[in-house]
Amino acid sequence: MQRAEPEKVLVIACGMLAREILAVKERLGLDHITLTCLPAELHYRPDRIPDAMDAAIKTARAQGYAAIFAGYADCGTGGMLDRVLERHGVERMDGPHCFAFYQGEARFAAVEEADMTAFYMTDFLCRQFDAFFMKPLGLDRHPELAQDFFGNYEKVVYLAQTDDPSLEKVARDAAEMLGLAYEKRMTGYGDLEPALARLSTRS
């Protein structure tokens, strides 16, 4: 008996996850998944995520997509994203944010309290450190402002999706510049991989 092909699924994700989702898709052979992304900058304007997701889902439905998955956690929306997704019958990643699901929910729960003063970095944030932090905050021109922006942090925690020395150097240099302790955790793709793999069971 011929095995049924998985249902086509559109993943609407945060732009900060694009590279990682594509890497998981290739590694697992998830050819039935199509990816579209909302701007990564919304990570810093979570109040805008629900409306952007609502519009993206409506567009996808108009294009004929029946199965849609949100490549987001709550991401600081305070439950507003869930209200949009529930209205459309769309599921999302479990957890409060990508820093949690990269580590795995159980592991994150175990370190959450100790990480209250941690400044998290990921592969994406290492690649985009200048664009997302140095230039917008003016630290490239006024590094003395670092204490104003990061004075409440005690450590930089690099959640590494890949073992890339050039990215780790960015994280280490950031910790040194900010005068913070440094810690690397090799997380890989965490809960992102099994979440996408489960989409292949749809038929």
Dihedral of alpha carbons 195, 81, 35, 101, sign: negative
Same domain, 44 and 65: yes
Same domain, 46 and 93: yes
pTM: 0.90
Name the one residue in this structure whose structure tokens are 């992304």.
37
Helix (H, G, I), strand (E, B) or coil at 69: strand
Q: According to the model, what pLDDT value does residue 4 have? A: 60
Name the domain count of the chain. Answer: 2
2 found inside a domain: no
Q: According to the model, what pLDDT value does residue 200 have? A: 73
* Cβ 104 vs Cβ 191: under 8 Å: yes
Whether the predicted pLDDT of 198 surpasses 50: yes
1 found inside a domain: no
State the Cα–Cα distance between residues 125 and 109, nearest whole angstrom. Answer: 22
Q: According to the model, what pLDDT value does residue 203 have? A: 45
Q: According to the model, what pLDDT value does residue 1 have? A: 44
29 found inside a domain: yes
Same domain, 77 and 118: no
Whether the predicted pLDDT of 137 surpasses 70: no
* Cβ 192 vs Cβ 95: under 8 Å: no
State the Cα–Cα distance between residues 198 and 192, nearest whole angstrom. Answer: 10
Q: Of residues 31 and 3, which shows the higher confidence score?
A: 31
3 found inside a domain: no
78 found inside a domain: yes
Same domain, 21 and 82: yes
Same domain, 135 and 181: yes
Query: Per residue in 80-125, pLDDT tens?
Result: 999 999 999 999 999 999 999 999 989 999 999 999 999 999 999 9
Same domain, 19 and 70: yes
Same domain, 120 and 93: no
Q: Is residue 132 exposed (0-12), middle (13-18) or buried (19+ Cβ within 10 Å)? A: middle
177 found inside a domain: yes
Q: Of residues 172 and 150, which shows the higher confidence score?
A: 172
Measured from the Cβ of residue 6, the count of other Cβ atoms closer than 10 Å reads 16
Domain housing 156: 105-186
Whether the predicted pLDDT of 202 surpasses 60: no
Same domain, 33 and 87: yes
Same domain, 46 and 119: no
